[in-house]
Amino acid sequence: MIEVTLKINGKMYTRKINPMLRLIDFIRDEIKLKGTKEGCGEGECGACTVIMNGKTVNSCLVLAASANGAEITTIEGLSNGDHLHPIQEAFIEVGAVQCGYCIPGMILSTKALLDENLDATEAQIKEGISGNLCRCTGYTKIVEGVKIAQKKIINSQEGD
C-alpha cells in the first residue's frame, strides 16, 4: 500500500491505496464521485475522461499512484452550487444529451478545449472531442452544444 494525495475539484484527498489502483477507481470507489463513467476500460471511448493538471486523460489508463500530487477536475467540479457550467447549460438547451453516459467525458473534453482555445472552429471542436464516443446522438447536437457554450462563455466574459 502507498499513500497518495490528490486534489480533486479543489479538495485534497489522501488515501492509502494499492499501487495498481487506476485513477478512475480512486475517483469512483475511494472518493465516491460517481459522475466519471467507465466505458471500454481501454482508452478508446473517453467516457472516463477527467482533466488532470489542465489536460484531459482517460482515467482508466492512469494509475492513481502516478497521479499523486495532481489536480483533477471531474464532472462534479464544474457546476457552482446550483448553477450549472455554461457547457452543461448549452448541452441541455440544444438536446445534446440522450442516454447521457458519454456526457461527463464529453463535457470535460469540451472544457479542456475551450480553456485552451475559446474560439475553436468546428473542425477544431470535432478534433477536440474525437476521443469521446457517443452512440446516441450522432454528434451533431453535441457540436452545436459546444458552439452555444462558446457564445455563453464569451458573453459572460464580456459581461464581467
Partner 1 sequence: MKLLSFFQPNNIDEAKVLLSKYENSKLLAGGTDLLLDFKKDMNVPQYLIDLSKILELKSIVENESDITIGSMVTFTQVKGNKLIKDNFNSIILCAKSMGSPQIRNVATIGGNIINGAVAADIVPCVISLDGILVFESIDTLREVRCEDYFRNNSIEKIKGNEILTKIIIPKRPWLSGYYKLGKRNSLAIARANTALSLSIEENIIKDLRVCLGAVGKFPFRVNELESRAVGKIVEWLFDDEALNILENTVYESIKERKTMPFKRNAIKGVFKNALLSAVESGGNK
Kindly list the residues in this chain that would bind partner 1 in the complex (CB under 8 A): 2, 19-20, 22, 41-44, 46, 49, 55-58, 60-63, 65-66, 68, 109, 112-113, 127-128, 130-132
Q: Which is nearer to partner 1, 84 or 135 (CB)?
A: 135
Q: What are the helix and strand counts (H, E) for the chain? A: 5, 5
Separation between Cα atoms, residue 102 and residue 144, nearest integer Å: 16
State in angstroms the smallest separation of the CB of 60 from partner 1. 8
Q: Which is nearer to partner 1, 53 or 156 (CB)?
A: 53
State in angstroms the smallest separation of the CB of 85 from partner 1. 19
Q: Which is nearer to partner 1, 121 or 156 (CB)?
A: 121
User: Could you tell me which residues are beta bridge partners of residue 22?
Assistant: 63
Q: Which is nearer to partner 1, 135 or 155 (CB)?
A: 135
Q: Are 37 and 105 a contacting pair, CB within 8 Å?
A: yes
State in angstroms the smallest separation of the CB of 10 from partner 1. 21
Separation between Cα atoms, residue 73 and residue 51, nearest integer Å: 5
Q: Which three cell numbers stand for residue 39?
A: 466505458
Q: 103-114 burial, b if ≥16 CB within 10 A, otherwise e?
A: bbbbbbbbbbbb
State in angstroms the smallest separation of the CB of 71 from partner 1. 14
